[in-house]
Structure 1
C-alpha cells in the first residue's frame, strides 16, 4: 500500500492590496466615516466596498434590496398559470415536485408550505433517489396524471427534462419549472420556465439556489394577490438552509436572503428546524458553516439512506413531539450515512494508493458496483481532500453506472463532463459538482476520455490546494473591535468568504499541544515579544515536530472568538503553517 501520511502542501495566494490612488482615497474616507482602522478600511475596499453607502448596504442588508421577481423571464406566465389553477370553480390539483437533496426538499417545504394556505387541492412529491433518480421521473409524471393533478411546480430540477415534460403534456399535465441549473440548448415546453441562468433571462442576479427561485415565485404570487410579504418572510429559514447547503455564492440577493434567513433560523425557526438544531447539539447562534456541516447533512441523509420525503415531513412538522420524532429518525440516517461514507472513502483511497496510474493521473474516476449511491458525492469530496483533483465516484444503479463528480477551485468539471457526453446517457450540474449516468460498459472509455479532457484543460496550479489570503496582518491589529466588525461582514460563503490573514516572523511560546492525536494547539507571538495568542489547527498535528521555539515561521489564519467555560478569548484558526 502506498500511504499518504500528511496533507499535500498548499499554495498561498495573496489578493492584491488596494493601493491605487482611488483606492487609497476610499480607504481614507471609510476610515473616517466608519470610525475603523485603516487596516479594516483596506479590507473593505479590497472587497469592492468603497463608499459609506456601499458599506451601509453591506453591513446592514435590507429586505427591500430584493429584486422585483417579475424581472425574471417567464415569471408573469408562471403566475398567470398558477392563478388559473386556483380559480374558484376550476381549482386544479397542483403537485409540488422537488429533488431529493437539501435544496430540493427545502424548496418543496417552502412552496407547498406556503401555497397550501391559499389552495386546498395541493400535494407534494419527492422522487426516490434509487428507483427514480435525479430530476423529473416518468414514475412521478404517471403518478400525477393517475391522481388527477394537472399542474406540477418542479423545484430544483426540470430544466433539461425535455422528454418528460412533453410526456406530461400529452397526459394533460402542465409544468412550471423553477430551476437554477444550466439549461441545455433546448428548453422544455412548459407553461413557464423560471431559471435565471437562461440566456434570454435578464434577471439581475444569476446565482439563486433552487429554493431561492421558488421563493421568487412566491414573492411574485404575493405581489400579484396583494398578500403582505411579511407572511412570506418567515419561510426564509428554509431558503438560508438551501443557500448554505447548495454552496451557492453568498453575494447580492443571496446575501440578503441568507442574512434574514439566519435571523429567523436563530430567533424563530420553524418547528422541524428547531428540532434538528437541538439534535445537532447547537447551543449558540448559527452561521452558514453550522448549517453546511450540521443541518444540511442530516436533511440530506433522509434521501441518501431511505426516502427524502421524511425530510419534507420534518420541515413541515407543526407539533414539537412530531418534529422531535422525525429529527431523531433523520439523525439515525445521518449516523448510518457516516458509516457508509467512512468505509467507502477508505476503499476509494486504497484503490488510488495501490495504482501507479491513478496516483499519477490528473483526475480520479473510480467504480464499484457495491458502493452506496447515497454517499458517492461525499466520497468524491473526501478523495479530493487527499488527492487534489477533479474526482468522479461511480456505482451501479439499475444496470447503469451512476456517478457524482466534484471539482477543485478554478476547474469547471461540468464543462469537462460535457465533452464526454457521447459516452453518457444523462448528466447535469454546476461548475464544481455534477451527476451522470452511463452504461457500465462505457466506464473505461469514459475514464480514459475524462482524463484526456482534464489533462488538456487543467492548469498545474489547480492541482495544488490553495489558501486565499486577504491581507498580511500584524498581531497588533487583533483586538475585540476587529472581531466584532469581521463578524458583521457575514454571512460568509462562496464569494464572501471569512477573511484569512497571514503573519510572518511568528515564534512559538511553550510546547505544541497535540489534541486527539490529530489536531494542534500552539501559543504564538509575532517577533520576540508582544502579545501571546492561542492558535488551533485541525488536522495539523504533523506540524508539531517542525516547530522549534527559537525559529520563526509564517501562519495564515482566521480570527475567531473562543468560548470555553463561560470565558471568551481571541483565537487564531490556522489554515496553514510554513516553516523557514
Structure 2
C-alpha cells in the first residue's frame, strides 16, 4: 500500500509584540493569569489593537451589517414574498442536501411558515445519489403540478440558468438565495441574494447559504414590523443555532458577520441541553448522541455537522433532516436523530474503504508529476467521494477529484488545498464537462467517461503553468512543552474560537517528548454492535517538564504506529466533557495528534529565514529605509517568487508595499475599452506600447495578450510583432466566424476574471501564507 507523503512543518515567524499587548489581552478577556501564548497567537493572526480584540472576542460589541446592504436584490425578494403572503400563494423552499443546505432550508421554513396559511409553504431537498446540487427540471415539474408559484432557493440556484428558464415557462417565479459562484450575467429571476456581489473585504462577503437565508428572514421581520402581518414572530435569536451549524459545517471564512453569527449561534446552541424542554429537541438529541454540550465549534464540525451530512451520503434522501431540526415532538426527534447516528456510522465505514482504495491507486502513480489528483472507479459510492477527496487533498497537498462511473458517465466531487481556486481551475475546462457547480474550495461535477483522462491532463497542465505550492504542509502556531498543556492554555487559545478558514485551529509543536500508557480501541457499530475497522489510540504524552503525562488521542491509528522513544509531535489541544467524566483528573482536556516523527528522523522542518514586512495598508507613500520593495500587486506566485528569492540572497527584508486594487470594472467593460483603443490605433496608425495599454486598461500582461489574440479574430492585426509595442491594422474580411470570435472573447473575459480574482487575493493574502508558499518552492 502507498504511504502518504511526509508533510513539511512550517514554524511560526518571530514577530515581536508591543510591550503592553499581553496586559491588554488579559484585561479585555478577563483571564486570571497573563495570557502570553494567547496574546502571541492573536498578534500573529493580525489582532493587534484593543478595539480589534474587543470586536473579535465579544459578539455583543460587534455591529452586524444590515440586510439592506444587499440593495435592490433584497428589496425585490421581500416585495415578492409579501405579495405571495397577501395572495395566499403556494411557495416552495428549494434547499440542498448538505449541512449548509439543510440548515438553510430549516431557517427559511422556521422563518417563513409563520406568515403562510396551512399547506401553503413546502420545502424540497434533492437526492444526493440521484440529483445534482441545485434546481432540476423534473423537480420543478413536480412543484408546478402541486400549484407552486414561487420558489425560494437556499444554498443553490445561482447558475441554474436552464432550470430557471424552465420554471418561468411553468409560471413559477424564482428568488435565489445562495453563496456560490455567480454566472457571467444576472439570471432572469425575481431576485438573487448572493454575497459574491460584495468585495472580498465586505463584512457579508463570506456568508454561507444558511447565513444568507437568515439575512432574508431578518429583512422580512424588519419589513413587516408594526404591521398586522407581523404576529407573534419567533425571535430571530432562535434561528442562530441553525446558522452556526451551517456556517461551521460549510467551512467558510469566519470573519465579519460570519464570525458574529457563529458566536451568537453557539451561544444559542448550548441552551438546548440546559433545559428539560429545549426549543429544538432534535438538536438536543444530536448533541446527546455525539456527547457534546454545544458550547464549542467542534461540537458542530465533529458532531452535528457530520451526522447531518451523513444522511444524504448514505440514503440520498435527506428530507427528514429538516424535520429533525424544526420539529417540536421530542419522541419523533429522538427517532430521527437515531437514524442520523446510524447513517454516520455507515458513512465512516464506507469512507475508510474508499480512502484505502484511493491510497492504493496513488501508490501506482508517480506523484512527483501529479499536480491535481483525478481518479475514477465504478465501485465507489457517490455519497462519500467529497469527504474522501478532502482527506486526500490534505494528506497529499494537492487538489483532488474523485469520480464514480455509471455507464458512460463519471460523477463526483472535488476538494482544494493550499488556497488554490478549484472552481476557476475547473471552469476553464468546462467544455469537457456535462455539469459543474461549487465554489473555490469544493465542487461537484459530471462528465463523459471518455473525457476523464483528457480532463485530468488538462488540469495538471494548467496548474503546472500557474505555479502553485504542492505537497502537504503543517503550519505550526506555537512551540510549547507538556507542562503548559491544560486549562490555562486552553482558555488562552479559546479566545480565537470559533475557528474557520483564515483562522485555523492552533497547532502546537512539542519537542523531545515520548508516549506512555498506549492502547488502541476499535469503534463499534451501534446497530450490529460489531467492531469496525476505524480505530483510535489513547496515550499519555510526556516530556522532561512533565513526566506525569498529559492524555491524548490519535484517530485512525493503532498504538504500534506511535514511535518508540523520543519524538517531536504536533498536536491540537481540545476539551471533551465526556472525557472529563471518565478521567476527571485531567479535567476533560486532551491533545489530538496532527503529525509525529522520531527525533532521529530526517524531518523536513522549515523555519522562516526571510522576513516579510507588510505595508499594504499603510496610508503614507514613504518606503522603509531597508528592504526590497514590491510596489505592483502580483497576480501569480510566479511574479512574487523572484522578489522573495532576491531578498533572501541579499539578506534583506521583502516589503509588500503595493496598494489594494481599485474598484474593478466588469470584464465586458474592459473588452469594450480594448476594442475602442484598437479602433483608434488602427484608424490613426499610431504605435502604442504594451505598458501604455496595460495602464490604460488596468490589466496585466497575460490578460492583455489574450485580449490581443481575441482582437485578431475580429479582424485586427498586430503589425509590430514585438513584446514592447503594438501597431494595429483592421480588415473586416480577415475576421473569423462568430463562433471563433465568441470563443476568443470568452477566453479573454475568463482570463481577466482570473486576474482580478488573483489581484484581490494577493492584496489580502496573509504574510504567513506568502512565507509558507515561497519557502515551499
Shift of 1:434: 0.8
Other-structure match for 2:237: 233
Contact 2:435 2:447 in 1 (8 A): yes
Other-structure match for 2:420: 411
When normalised by structure 2's length, the TM-score is 0.67
Give the Cα–Cα distance (whole angstroms) in 1 for the partners of residues 123 and 457 of structure 2. Answer: 41
For CA contacts below 8 A with separation 6 or more, give which structure has more relative contact order: 1
Other-structure match for 1:499: 506
Give the Cα–Cα distance (whole angstroms) in 2 for the partners of residues 365 and 344 of structure 1. Answer: 14
Structure 2: 5+ residue runs without aligned partners? Answer: 273-278, 522-534, 601-777
Give CA-to-partner distance per residue, 1:430-451, whole Å, 9 cap, x none: 2221111112221121122122
Shift of 1:63: 8.0
Shift of 1:37: 3.9
Question: 1:333-482 maps to which residues of 2 (within 5 A)?
Answer: 333-353=343-363, 355-357=364-366, 360-384=369-393, 386-397=395-406, 399-459=408-468, 461-463=469-471, 465-473=472-480, 480-482=487-489
Other-structure match for 1:557: 571
Other-structure match for 1:206: 205
Give the Cα–Cα distance (whole angstroms) in 2 for the partners of residues 430 and 420 of structure 1. Answer: 15
Give the Cα–Cα distance (whole angstroms) in 1 for the partners of residues 38 and 295 of structure 2. Answer: 24
Give the Cα–Cα distance (whole angstroms) in 2 for the partners of residues 507 and 107 of structure 1. Answer: 45
The 1:284–1:566 alpha-carbon spacing in structure 2 relative to 1, beyond 3 Å, is: farther
Structure 1: 5+ residue runs without aligned partners? Answer: none
Contact 1:196 1:202 in 2 (8 A): no
Shift of 1:346: 2.7
1:69 paired to 2:67: yes
Provide the alpha-carbon RMSD of the alignment.
2.9
Shift of 1:24: 4.5
Give the Cα–Cα distance (whole angstroms) in 1 for the partners of residues 102 and 449 of structure 2. Answer: 30
Give the Cα–Cα distance (whole angstroms) in 2 for the partners of residues 474 and 511 of structure 1. Answer: 16
Give the Cα–Cα distance (whole angstroms) in 2 for the partners of residues 245 and 192 of structure 1. Answer: 26
Match of 1:84, SS? helix
Give the Cα–Cα distance (whole angstroms) in 1 for the partners of residues 124 and 453 of structure 2. Answer: 36
Which of 521, 529, 548 lines up with 2:539 in the alignment?
521
Match of 1:396, SS? strand
Which of 486, 500, 504 lines up with 2:493 in the alignment?
486
1:261 paired to 2:271: no
The structure with the larger Rg is 2
When normalised by structure 1's length, the TM-score is 0.88
The 1:49–1:201 alpha-carbon spacing in structure 2 relative to 1, beyond 3 Å, is: closer
Give the Cα–Cα distance (whole angstroms) in 2 for the partners of residues 204 and 33 of structure 1. Answer: 23
Match of 1:462, SS? coil
Shift of 1:126: 1.3
Give the Cα–Cα distance (whole angstroms) in 1 for the partners of residues 28 and 131 of structure 2. Answer: 57
Shift of 1:493: 2.3
The 1:479–1:425 alpha-carbon spacing in structure 2 relative to 1, beyond 3 Å, is: closer
Shift of 1:108: 0.8
Contact 1:96 1:155 in 2 (8 A): yes
Question: 1:283-298 maps to which residues of 2 (within 5 A)?
Answer: 283-298=292-307
Give CA-to-partner distance per residue, 1:33-86, whole Å, 9 cap, x none: 667344433332222222333222222212863210110141111111111211
Give CA-to-partner distance per residue, 1:507-558, whole Å, 9 cap, x none: 44x85634348636244235xx56754253514856644524xxxx544333
Other-structure match for 1:318: 328
Please identify, of 438-447 and 195-204, the stretch whose mean Cα deviation from structure 2 is larger: 195-204
Give the Cα–Cα distance (whole angstroms) in 2 for the partners of residues 571 and 122 of structure 1. Answer: 46
Give the Cα–Cα distance (whole angstroms) in 2 for the partners of residues 99 and 507 of structure 1. Answer: 46
